[in-house]
Amino acid sequence: MHPACLRIAGMCLGMQTQLQMNLMLSDDFVLYSVLNARETSAAQFF
């Protein structure tokens, strides 16, 4: 994987962990997880 993608993935994981602590699997977190998964899939093409 490209180093920049690794850095972006690390940032996304950090934000996801922080949001998970704040939202505790609320509907907003589920929606964010779906959107984040799409962004992660798109990032793999770069």
pLDDT in tens, 6-45: 887 887 777 777 766 665 556 666 777 788 887 777 666 6
| Per-residue tokens: 12 | 């996304």
Q: Identify the pLDDT of residue 19.
A: 66
What does the pLDDT read at residue 39? 73
Counting Cα atoms < 13 Å in the Cβ hemisphere of 8 gives 15
Residues 23, 35: Cα–Cα separation, whole Å: 15
| pLDDT value of position 2 | 75
